[in-house]
Amino acid sequence: QIIVMILLAYSGSLLVGSDFRLRTLPFYLSRRIDRRHYIVGKLLAVSTVISLLTVVPALLLFLEYGLFTASTQYWIDNWQIPIAVLMFGLVLCVVNSILLVTLSAYLQRIVPITITWATIFLLLGSLSGYLRRATDNENWRLLDPWWNMRTVGRMCFGSFRTESEEVLAWKALALLVAVCSVALVALVHRVRAVDVVE
């Protein structure tokens, strides 16, 4: 989790922050690249990094585990596992890529990006746990972005023990959608603010 966070912070600085810091974005946009193409391309680049770190190893583990059996019965009986992994991977890619690209577009340098990225995931996670223990209110878990993504991932796998966990998962999904929507609007606004020289 921490390794993924650090690698994503460096990726955001290299893939997005440097375009704004070195003023290369106007050069890209003056060619046949539209602003939406730039945004989608950067989101896909970050999503590729996330997939290589999380989704691909999970699918390889599923395949490897099936190879230890004498038949293909394991894969047939558990065909829903790769689908759930892909759905959870989609959640990870969408949320992390939108947040990271938006942060990188505004902060641009590696140190502010890393500090803010760590604050979002580590500080909010710690604060969430402290408030939940202090108030005995499970809703404070929603402050933790990692917990929100993991809980939505549990929706993909259908592994809830109680109804209250499922209710919290829907709240987590709604919160992630809201945060990603705001971040995406901010990213579009930031890219549109760049002056393009024809």
Give tens-digit pLDDT for 136-167. 888 898 999 989 998 998 888 877 777 888 88
Tally of CB atoms within 10 A around 168: 20
The pLDDT of residue 185: 93
The pLDDT of residue 19: 62
Alpha-carbon gap, residue 96 to 9, rounded angstroms: 10
Kindly state the tokens that stand for 36: 């939406």
Say what the pTM is: 0.81
The pLDDT of residue 68: 83
The pLDDT of residue 12: 67
The pLDDT of residue 25: 60
The pLDDT of residue 173: 93
Are 58 and 86 within 8 A, CB to CB? no
The pLDDT of residue 1: 60
* Amino acid at the residue 136: D
Which residue ranges in the chain fall short of pLDDT 50?
none
Angle among Cα 20, 26, 29 to the nearest 5 degrees reads: 115
- The average confidence (pLDDT) of the chain is 82
Residues 6+ apart with CB under 8 A from 196: 26, 29, 30
